Amino acid sequence: MENLNLGELFNESIKTIILQEVKNAKKEIEKEISQEKIVLLMQRGYPNELLSTRVSRERLSVGTETLKDLIDLNLIPIIKNKKKIKISSYDLDDFIEKYKNQDLKEVIEEARNRKGVI
Protein backbone atom coordinates (compact mmCIF):
# COMPACT_ATOMS: atom_id res chain seq x y z
CA MET A 1 0.00 0.00 0.00
CA GLU A 2 2.92 2.36 0.64
CA ASN A 3 3.88 2.41 -3.03
CA LEU A 4 0.37 3.13 -4.36
CA ASN A 5 -0.30 6.69 -5.42
CA LEU A 6 -3.59 8.49 -4.94
CA GLY A 7 -4.89 7.50 -8.40
CA GLU A 8 -4.19 3.83 -7.80
CA LEU A 9 -5.88 3.99 -4.38
CA PHE A 10 -8.91 5.60 -6.01
CA ASN A 11 -8.99 2.91 -8.74
CA GLU A 12 -8.75 0.12 -6.16
CA SER A 13 -11.56 1.69 -4.11
CA ILE A 14 -13.81 1.98 -7.16
CA LYS A 15 -13.00 -1.59 -8.16
CA THR A 16 -13.91 -2.84 -4.66
CA ILE A 17 -17.21 -0.92 -4.72
CA ILE A 18 -18.12 -2.23 -8.16
CA LEU A 19 -17.34 -5.82 -7.19
CA GLN A 20 -19.48 -5.50 -4.08
CA GLU A 21 -22.36 -4.03 -6.10
CA VAL A 22 -22.11 -6.87 -8.62
CA LYS A 23 -22.15 -9.40 -5.79
CA ASN A 24 -25.21 -7.73 -4.24
CA ALA A 25 -27.01 -7.63 -7.60
CA LYS A 26 -26.26 -11.31 -8.16
CA LYS A 27 -27.73 -12.19 -4.75
CA GLU A 28 -30.88 -10.19 -5.55
CA ILE A 29 -31.27 -11.91 -8.92
CA GLU A 30 -30.83 -15.34 -7.31
CA LYS A 31 -33.39 -14.43 -4.66
CA GLU A 32 -35.89 -13.29 -7.33
CA ILE A 33 -35.35 -16.46 -9.36
CA SER A 34 -35.90 -18.59 -6.25
CA GLN A 35 -39.08 -16.65 -5.45
CA GLU A 36 -40.29 -17.10 -9.04
CA LYS A 37 -39.67 -20.84 -8.81
CA ILE A 38 -41.59 -21.01 -5.53
CA VAL A 39 -44.49 -19.04 -6.99
CA LEU A 40 -44.51 -21.23 -10.10
CA LEU A 41 -44.43 -24.36 -7.96
CA MET A 42 -47.30 -23.01 -5.84
CA GLN A 43 -49.31 -22.14 -8.96
CA ARG A 44 -48.70 -25.49 -10.60
CA GLY A 45 -48.85 -27.53 -7.41
CA TYR A 46 -46.13 -29.91 -8.55
CA PRO A 47 -42.46 -29.76 -9.50
CA ASN A 48 -41.30 -29.50 -13.08
CA GLU A 49 -39.87 -32.77 -14.34
CA LEU A 50 -38.55 -34.08 -17.62
CA LEU A 51 -40.79 -36.61 -19.29
CA SER A 52 -39.89 -39.24 -21.86
CA THR A 53 -41.59 -39.16 -25.24
CA ARG A 54 -43.53 -42.28 -24.25
CA VAL A 55 -44.96 -40.61 -21.15
CA SER A 56 -45.64 -37.42 -23.12
CA ARG A 57 -47.50 -39.39 -25.80
CA GLU A 58 -49.56 -41.11 -23.13
CA ARG A 59 -50.46 -37.81 -21.45
CA LEU A 60 -51.52 -36.36 -24.80
CA SER A 61 -53.12 -39.61 -26.00
CA VAL A 62 -51.33 -39.34 -29.34
CA GLY A 63 -49.12 -41.57 -31.42
CA THR A 64 -45.43 -41.32 -32.18
CA GLU A 65 -45.89 -39.47 -35.49
CA THR A 66 -48.22 -36.86 -34.00
CA LEU A 67 -45.80 -36.11 -31.17
CA LYS A 68 -42.95 -35.95 -33.70
CA ASP A 69 -44.96 -33.41 -35.73
CA LEU A 70 -45.66 -31.32 -32.63
CA ILE A 71 -41.95 -31.29 -31.78
CA ASP A 72 -40.77 -30.64 -35.35
CA LEU A 73 -43.17 -27.70 -35.65
CA ASN A 74 -41.87 -26.27 -32.35
CA LEU A 75 -45.30 -26.53 -30.76
CA ILE A 76 -43.76 -28.48 -27.89
CA PRO A 77 -40.21 -27.57 -26.83
CA ILE A 78 -37.79 -30.38 -26.10
CA ILE A 79 -34.54 -30.97 -24.29
CA LYS A 80 -32.24 -33.25 -26.24
CA ASN A 81 -29.31 -35.16 -24.78
CA LYS A 82 -27.58 -37.14 -27.52
CA LYS A 83 -30.47 -39.17 -28.93
CA LYS A 84 -32.78 -38.98 -25.92
CA ILE A 85 -35.58 -36.44 -26.07
CA LYS A 86 -37.22 -35.12 -22.93
CA ILE A 87 -40.17 -32.79 -22.52
CA SER A 88 -40.76 -30.54 -19.54
CA SER A 89 -44.00 -31.36 -17.73
CA TYR A 90 -44.67 -27.60 -17.51
CA ASP A 91 -44.19 -27.19 -21.28
CA LEU A 92 -46.50 -30.12 -21.93
CA ASP A 93 -49.15 -28.63 -19.64
CA ASP A 94 -48.74 -25.23 -21.32
CA PHE A 95 -49.32 -26.90 -24.70
CA ILE A 96 -52.43 -28.66 -23.40
CA GLU A 97 -53.79 -25.44 -21.91
CA LYS A 98 -53.11 -23.44 -25.08
CA TYR A 99 -54.69 -25.95 -27.47
CA LYS A 100 -57.46 -27.48 -25.39
CA ASN A 101 -60.78 -27.79 -27.22
CA GLN A 102 -58.95 -27.75 -30.56
CA ASP A 103 -58.42 -30.54 -33.05
CA LEU A 104 -54.72 -31.50 -33.04
CA LYS A 105 -54.78 -32.25 -36.77
CA GLU A 106 -55.93 -28.67 -37.41
CA VAL A 107 -53.33 -27.28 -35.00
CA ILE A 108 -50.59 -29.20 -36.81
CA GLU A 109 -51.85 -28.19 -40.26
CA GLU A 110 -52.03 -24.52 -39.25
CA ALA A 111 -48.49 -24.68 -37.85
CA ARG A 112 -47.26 -26.27 -41.10
CA ASN A 113 -48.88 -23.49 -43.12
CA ARG A 114 -47.31 -20.81 -40.88
CA LYS A 115 -43.90 -22.47 -41.18
CA GLY A 116 -43.99 -22.06 -44.95
CA VAL A 117 -44.76 -18.34 -44.72
CA ILE A 118 -41.77 -16.02 -44.37
pLDDT in single tens digits along all 118 residues of the chain:
456 687 788 888 888 888 888 888 888 777 776 777 676 666 777 778 999 999 999 999 999 999 999 999 999 999 998 889 999 999 999 999 899 999 999 999 999 998 766 5
* Per-residue model confidence (pLDDT) at position 78: 96
* Per-residue model confidence (pLDDT) at position 15: 86
Whose CA is closest to 108, among 65, 52, 69, 67? Answer: 69
* Per-residue model confidence (pLDDT) at position 108: 94
Q: Give the predicted TM-score (pTM) of the model.
A: 0.61
Question: What is the number of residues in the chain?
Answer: 118
Cβ-based neighbours of 27, under 8 Å, separated by 6 or more:
none
Alpha-carbon distance of 60 to 54, in angstroms, equals 10
